[in-house]
């Protein structure tokens, strides 16, 4: 699926590009975004860089979300200077899938502990995987 994405290449060098998004998968859905916004602090960081009075030299760039990105996309944003990724959606989906799977295997009932452990283990495994992709040590 093709989409448009803003990509940051440097101070004041933000480009709207066509990107390929992964499909929703068998149990997923595709949601069309009809409106979005940019935090003013993000805007100032992009346009002014270290010239902004509240942006010290060497400020690491933060990616506020990565929903829809592939492992290769993550590697690319790291290569372009992103130093922190706020990561939630994929971990939450991994936990949700684990809960869905365990509920299917125990139709006669289960304990909360079973669900909590399955979700926690799935989220932990997903985060460990992503940390390797991002080059975390």
- pTM metric for this prediction: 0.52
CA dihedral over 80, 84, 90, 91, signed as positive or negative: positive
Residues 103 and 48: their CA atoms lie apart, in Å, by 51
Query: Collapsing DSSP states into helix, strand and coil, what is residue 88?
Result: coil
Taking only the tens place, the pLDDT of each residue in 75-107 is: 887 777 777 777 788 888 999 999 999 988 887
Q: Is residue 40 predicted with pLDDT exceeding 90?
A: no
Give me the pLDDT at residue 27, please.
Answer: 72
Higher pLDDT, 37 or 66: 66
Residue with tokens 């006669």: 108
Residues 115 and 131: their CA atoms lie apart, in Å, by 24
pLDDT bin (cut points 50, 70, 90) of residue 52 is low
CA dihedral over 51, 56, 58, 59, signed as positive or negative: negative
Assigned token pair, 4:
């448009």
Average pLDDT over residues 32-41: 64
User: What percentage of residues in the chain have a pLDDT greater than 70?
Assistant: 72
């Amino acid at each position: 699926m093709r989409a448009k994405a803003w990509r940051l290449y440097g101070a004041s060098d933000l480009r709207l590009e066509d990107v390929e998004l992964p499909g929703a998968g068998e149990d997923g859905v595709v949601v069309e975004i009809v409106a979005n916004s940019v935090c003013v602090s993000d805007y100032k960081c992009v346009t002014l860089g270290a010239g902004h009075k509240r942006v010290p030299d060497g400020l690491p760039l933060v990616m506020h979300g990565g929903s829809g990105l592939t492992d290769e996309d993550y590697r690319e944003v790291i290569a372009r200077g992103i130093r922190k990724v706020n990561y939630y959606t994929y971990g939450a989906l991994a936990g949700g899938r684990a809960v869905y799977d365990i509920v299917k295997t125990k139709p006669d009932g289960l304990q909360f502990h079973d669900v909590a452990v399955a979700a926690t283990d799935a989220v932990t495994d997903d985060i460990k995987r992503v940390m390797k992709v991002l080059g975390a040590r």
